[in-house]
Amino acid sequence: MSTSSSSAAERDRKRELLQKFFIVLILSLICFSLFFLNYHEKNKYIIKTLEINGSAKEGYALFKVNCVGCHGITARGLVGPDLHSITQRLNDKEIIKQVTGGLTPPMPSFEIDPVNMSNLLKYLHSLE
């Protein structure tokens, strides 16, 4: 009697452990797929932006509204650095990440559609 009840308790414990294991497994799968989807979305955004041939003039209009406060009206730098010849130091992908990523405070992250991002890139290329 005592052995059968102890093995029943053991079975319960095993079942509980298995349940916990599955919960952890499912949670990690969810995290992983969210991470992957996010990465995929970002990549799609970059590819789309690089396919567009933007306009430097439109880009400068955008720059005047969003960036001059920190980078200066001629992009020679204020709080933020001088952006002349930036395209020789950073490639387009790195610049897109800089503008949309918000990885270097105090510079904020900008939510910007691919067409306007492409215009901004064109403007930055015109600063060489």
Interface residue list for ligand HEC (CB under 6 A): 66-67, 69-71, 79-81, 83, 86, 90, 95, 98-99, 104, 106-108, 110, 120
Closest CA to 118 of 57, 65, 43, 39: 57
Q: How far is the CB of 14 from ligand HEC (least distance, A)?
A: 53
Select 24 or 103, whichever has its Cβ closest to ligand HEC: 103
* CB 125, min distance to ligand HEC, A: 11
CA distance 110 to 115: 14
* Interatomic CA distance for residues 96 and 90, integer angstroms: 10
Q: Which is nearer to ligand HEC, 48 or 72 (CB)?
A: 72
* Closer residue to ligand HEC, CB minimum distance, 1 or 65: 65
Nearer CB in complex with ligand HEC: 71/122 = 71
The DSSP call for residue 81 is P
> What Rg, from alpha-carbon coordinates, does the chain have?
26
User: Cβ of residue 115: shortest distance to ligand HEC, in angstroms?
Assistant: 14
What is the rounded distance in angstroms from the CA atom of residue 69 to the CA atom of residue 40?
A: 32
